[in-house]
């Protein structure tokens, strides 16, 4: 089973890109599974189900989304394998820019859009900087020169990645991206694998539900600004 | 290529020779000073806790820097010359073979015509992907009569194709001059100021209405944006092939625009329905049902009609200018 982690900032076009890739994989008669991670609410699982692929939905609710991801991904991979998926795709949003779901030896994709601003690539952490493939979306909205400038900013923070332009609406570029997916890591289980980068940590009183503001309510792993 | 020697010289020298290293490190939130220590020593002494806060490991940073420097050196090396582009036909949507082998050379203009949804974009995408029978059309693309290196597919430094799409919107909050400077810097051109001045001058020549270098790109008119992008493509882009998705009529001198690109020795493929642009091309590929249906060479009679069409077009342009100038059109 070929397994890929796909992540990216909210609204960058992850679901649309994955839907276009699914269409291209289905033309090749592949059995596909998708795991959609989100926080509070998502209907994207229905959009996937409409395409006739197997779907699992995970909502992290009150927990840190990426910690939730890493505690569940192993059983998701086992599920995909047991159900005979030839391709398994996990989709998760990077919400704090310091998170990253990417796993060593597992093909990692980051989706980012041309409209997000010229400094955004710098602001995104390991989710972008350690990805193997960076997909840039919404290229039809801007000019060629602006696409080139944005891609060079991405290239600067992740010079080793393959950068691809994909249009999630028309599907332009999805066919080409799919041929890269055919070379994705082939696995049966995540046993023994490690994350590419540690997740942001905390464990302070606020992690445990504290709501009151003030020095006396702060315990655990606290860091102060230098003002 | 690993630029090993560069890691051992004093930073004062390295940063002078490769100023982009500073920009690279600052994009990770790191600072560097031109001191007597070497880049190697600088990397060795970075605090692991600081790196963890910045979201990168020491190994990852070193690997990225290696890749970045390799890319920068590649950008400075000359591009392989493209003498010819050959399209070997595949099949249309019904599986009917195209039976076509077409070779294009620098300075040639080929128009692509056909109804919406007929497969014009797929043809342009096959060329950009340097297809080798691995796309839905089964077409093959040769460069200089050979199966090209697959590096063309993913290289951002040496892109085979520069694409000018119909959409010319800008979202960046920059003036025309700042924008072109940023683009020139990303391409690491040797004499940026000269190139920027050239592009702005050319763009003003192509556009019906002049604009100043300080105009924000977001306030340019449609014609001015198109003019700026065509000048930028002609002067800044090293890509030997230009794919153009229609140059719209309004506010730009299309003949001059095309001449500018031809002068830069590019192979030009242009999707268009505009009779003037279509007749300016050396030939037209007619796309039907996903396949290249036929190739029409522009005939002498068509060339003669082009002159008549241009007169008609100039007449309309003059009327447009009169309207703009507040005149009436009671006598035309």
Q: For residue A79, give both structure tokens.
A: 């599920």
**DSSP code at position A115:** G
**Residue A222 domain-assigned (yes or no):** no
Percent of chain A with pLDDT over 70: 100
**Residue A227 domain-assigned (yes or no):** no
**Rounded-to-integer distance, Cα A29 and Cα B92, Å:** 21
The mean pLDDT value of chain A amounts to 91
Res. B236 pLDDT band, cuts 50 70 90: confident
Res. B103 pLDDT band, cuts 50 70 90: very high
Taking only residues 28 to 57 of chain A, the set having a beta carbon closer than 8 angstroms to any beta carbon of chain B reads none
Which residues on chain A are in Cβ contact (under 8 Å) with B129?
176
Average pLDDT over residues B310-328: 88
Q: Which residue of A has its CA nearest to B179?
A: A146
pLDDT above 70: residue B250: no
Which residues on chain B are in Cβ contact (under 8 Å) with A145?
179-180, 183, 229, 232-233, 236
- Rg of chain A taking only CA atoms, in angstroms: 18
**Rounded-to-integer distance, Cα A22 and Cα A52, Å:** 10
**Yes or no, beta carbons of B165 and A144 under 8 Å apart:** yes
**Rounded-to-integer distance, Cα B45 and Cα B50, Å:** 11
Collapse the DSSP code of B283 into the 3-class scheme (helix H, G, I; strand E, B; otherwise coil) and give the result.
strand
- Are A141 and B171 in contact by the 8 Å Cβ rule? The answer is yes
**Yes or no, beta carbons of B156 and A158 under 8 Å apart:** no
Res. B2 pLDDT band, cuts 50 70 90: low
Whether the CB of A120 is below 8 Å from some CB of chain B: the reply is no
pLDDT score at A57: 94
- Are A136 and A147 in contact by the 8 Å Cβ rule? The answer is yes
Res. B1 pLDDT band, cuts 50 70 90: very low
pLDDT score at B3: 63
Q: Which residue of A has its CA nearest to B183?
A: A149
**DSSP code at position A195:** B
pLDDT above 80: residue B158: no
Tracing tokens 């704090």 back to the chain, one arrives at A96
**Residue A225 domain-assigned (yes or no):** no
Q: A29: how many CB neighbours lie within 10 A of its CB?
A: 7
User: What are the tens digits of pLDDT across the range A10-65?
Assistant: 999 999 999 999 999 998 899 999 999 998 888 899 999 999 999 999 999 888 88
Of A192-201, B108-117, B147-156, the least confident = B147-156
Any residues with CB less than 8 A from the CB of B79 and at least 6 apart, and which?
B158, B238, B240
**Yes or no, beta carbons of A125 and B125 under 8 Å apart:** no
**What is the 3-state secondary structure of B182-244?**
HHHHHCCCCCHHHHHHHHHHHHHHHECCCCCCCCEHHHCCHHHHHHHHHHHHHHHCCCCEEEE
Distances A17 to A111, A140, B115 between C-alpha atoms, Å: 8, 14, 26
**Rounded-to-integer distance, Cα B180 and Cα B229, Å:** 10
pLDDT score at A148: 85
User: What are the tens digits of pLDDT across the range A101-157?
Assistant: 999 999 999 999 999 888 899 999 899 999 999 999 998 888 878 888 899 899 989
pLDDT above 80: residue B48: yes
**Yes or no, beta carbons of A144 and B57 under 8 Å apart:** no
**Yes or no, beta carbons of B27 and A125 under 8 Å apart:** no
CATH assignment at residue A143: 3.40.50.300
**Residue A223 domain-assigned (yes or no):** no
Distances A120 to A10, B50, B62, B113 between C-alpha atoms, Å: 13, 21, 22, 39
**Yes or no, beta carbons of A156 and B165 under 8 Å apart:** no
Which residue segment(s) compose the domain that A150 sits in? 2-217
Candidates A104, A176, A85; CA nearest to A136 is: A176
Average pLDDT over residues A193-202: 86
Q: Which residue has the higher pLDDT, B71 or B87?
A: B87
pLDDT above 80: residue B80: no
**Yes or no, beta carbons of A197 and B182 under 8 Å apart:** no
Any residues with CB less than 8 A from the CB of B151 and at least 6 apart, and which?
B158
Q: For residue B287, give both structure tokens.
A: 């796309």
pLDDT score at B257: 86
Q: Which CATH number is associated with domain B106-121+155-298?
A: 3.40.50.300
pLDDT score at B288: 92
Any residues with CB less than 8 A from the CB of A177 and at least 6 apart, and which?
A17, A21, A24, A133, A135, A164, A166
Collapse the DSSP code of B291 into the 3-class scheme (helix H, G, I; strand E, B; otherwise coil) and give the result.
strand
> Which of B29, B55, B182 should one mutate to test binding to chain A, selecting the residue with the greatest count of A CBs within 10 A?
B55
Average pLDDT over residues B284-310: 91
Q: A161: how many CB neighbours lie within 10 A of its CB?
A: 24
State how far Cα A161 lies from the chain centre.
15
ipTM: 0.79
Tracing tokens 């449609």 back to the chain, one arrives at B222
- Are B247 and B254 in contact by the 8 Å Cβ rule? The answer is yes
Distance from CA of B165 to the nearest CA of A (A): 7
**Yes or no, beta carbons of B186 and A126 under 8 Å apart:** no
Number of domains chain A is built from: 1
């Amino acid at each position: 089973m070929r397994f890929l982690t796909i992540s990216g900032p909210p609204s960058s076009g992850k679901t649309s890109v994955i839907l276009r890739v699914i269409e291209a994989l289905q033309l090749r008669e592949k059995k596909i599974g998708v795991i959609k991670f989100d926080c509070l609410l998502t209907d994207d699982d229905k959009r996937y189900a409409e395409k006739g692929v197997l779907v699992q939905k995970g909502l992290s609710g009150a927990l840190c989304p990426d910690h939730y991801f890493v505690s569940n991904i192993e059983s998701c991979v086992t599920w995909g394998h047991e159900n005979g998926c030839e391709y398994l795709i996990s989709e998760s949003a990077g919400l704090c820019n310091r998170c990253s779901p990417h796993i060593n030896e597992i093909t990692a994709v980051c989706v980012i859009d041309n409209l997000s601003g010229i400094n955004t690539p710098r602001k995104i952490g390991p989710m972008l900087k350690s990805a193997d493939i960076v997909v840039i979306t919404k290229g039809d909205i801007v000019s060629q020169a602006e696409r080139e400038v944005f891609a060079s900013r991405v290239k600067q923070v992740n010079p080793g990645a393959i950068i691809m332009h994909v249009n999630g609406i028309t599907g332009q570029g999805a066919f080409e991206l799919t041929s890269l997916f055919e070379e994705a890591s082939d696995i049966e289980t995540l046993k023994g694998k490690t994350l590419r980068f540690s997740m942001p940590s905390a464990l302070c009183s606020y992690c445990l539900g504290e709501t009151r503001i003030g020095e006396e309510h702060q315990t655990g792993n606290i860091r102060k600004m230098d003002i | 290529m690993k630029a090993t020697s560069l890691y051992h010289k004093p930073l004062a020298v390295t940063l002078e020779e490769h100023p982009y290293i500073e920009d690279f490190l600052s994009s990770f939130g790191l600072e560097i000073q031109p001191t007597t220590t070497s880049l190697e020593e600088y990397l060795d002494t970075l605090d692991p806790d600081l790196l963890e806060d910045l979201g990168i490991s020491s190994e990852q940073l070193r690997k990225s820097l290696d890749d970045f420097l390799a890319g920068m050196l590649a950008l400075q090396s000359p591009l392989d010359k493209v003498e010819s582009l050959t399209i070997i036909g595949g099949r249309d949507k019904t599986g009917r073979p195209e039976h076509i082998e077409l070779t294009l050379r620098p300075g040639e203009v080929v128009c692509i015509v056909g109804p919406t949804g007929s497969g014009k974009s797929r043809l342009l995408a096959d060329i950009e992907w340097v297809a080798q029978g691995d796309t839905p059309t089964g077409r093959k693309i040769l460069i200089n009569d050979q199966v090209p290196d697959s590096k063309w597919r993913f290289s951002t430094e040496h892109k085979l194709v520069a694409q000018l799409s119909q959409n010319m919107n800008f979202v960046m909050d920059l003036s025309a001059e700042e924008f072109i400077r940023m683009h020139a810097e990303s391409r690491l051109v040797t004499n940026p100021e000269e190139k920027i001045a050239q592009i702005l001058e050319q763009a003003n020549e192509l556009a019906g209405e002049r604009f100043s270098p300080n105009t924000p790109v977001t306030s340019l008119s449609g014609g001015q944006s198109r003019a700026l992008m065509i000048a930028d493509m002609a002067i800044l882009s090293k890509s030997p092939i230009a794919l153009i998705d229609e140059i719209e009529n309004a506010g730009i001198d299309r003949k001059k625009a095309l001449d500018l690109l031809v002068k830069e020795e590019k192979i030009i493929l242009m999707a268009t329905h505009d009779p003037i642009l279509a007749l300016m091309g050396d030939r037209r590929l007619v796309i039907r049902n996903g396949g290249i249906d036929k190739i029409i060479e522009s005939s002498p009679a068509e060339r003669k009609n082009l002159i008549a069409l241009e007169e008609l077009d100039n007449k309309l342009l003059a009327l447009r200018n009169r309207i703009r100038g507040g005149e009436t059109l009671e006598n035309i």
